[in-house]
Amino acid sequence: MASLKMRFGIRLKSLRAERGLTQEQLADATELSIESISNIERGIFGPRFDNLEKIAAVLNLEVMQLFEFKK
Amino acid sequence: MASLKMRFGIRLKSLRAERGLTQEQLADATELSIESISNIERGIFGPRFDNLEKIAAVLNLEVMQLFEFKK
DNA sequence: GAAAAAACGAAGCTTAACTCTGTTAAATAC
DNA sequence: GTATTTAACAGAGTTAAGCTTCGTTTTTTC
């Protein structure tokens, strides 16, 4: 199975799209660079815990929901 | 509210205790040091994504369940 | 086919994650 | 009530993941 980073990235991309946000808008709101958002969504790296919190807050979700994906 | 690191640590400690594992046993199984397990449980730091996967695997849980805690 | 959005590459920085060693404190057992 | 085990805690060092910046290419959308 794909790595957690990959699955998380796909999940994030999906959640962002649902909300009609661009990577740039999410980057601004989370105070991350657009490049970081891109890297996270492509599974290049997984965000640190502090950024997990920021991302969930911007998407108005519990952190748990960011990890809600099929096996 | 407590930081995500703190809440995660409390959750991990609880899940480990449920299974009757010591920090040392969890450390061995995840190939982390006992000190890292202790630091994670106390909210000193949050594990990286690769270690999140290992921890979930050892506890026989989905990663999502590690983030299942009250607000 | 222009414009916007995202993928991709490479290189450098920062700092959090992780380790090691050692000491203290708390819990469990005997 | 003291051994033994377990966990908290401190400090110091390493490493590598996360993050950034800049620039280019590809894809999407309009």
Q: Is the CB of B3 under 7 A from strand D?
A: no
pLDDT band at residue B44 using 50, 70 and 90 as cut-offs: very high
- The per-residue pLDDT for range A44-68, each reduced to its tens digit, is 999 999 999 999 999 999 999 999 9
Whether B71 shows a pLDDT value over 70: the answer reads: no
Of A5, A62, A71, the CB nearest to B49: A5
Of A8, A46, A67, the CB nearest to B48: A46
Interface test with A, best of B4, B8, B62 (most A CBs within 10 A): B4
Sketch the domain layout of chain B as residue ranges.
Answer: 4-66
How many alpha carbons fall within 13 Å on the CB side of residue A25? 9
Q: How far apart are CA A40 and CA A5, in angstroms?
A: 7
pTM: 0.93
Q: What CATH number does the domain located at A4-63 have?
A: 1.10.260.40
- The per-residue pLDDT for range B7-39, each reduced to its tens digit, is 999 999 999 999 999 999 999 999 999 999 999
Q: What CATH number does the domain located at B4-66 have?
A: 1.10.260.40
Q: Measure, in angstroms, how far nucleotide D2 C1' is from residue A2 CA.
A: 52
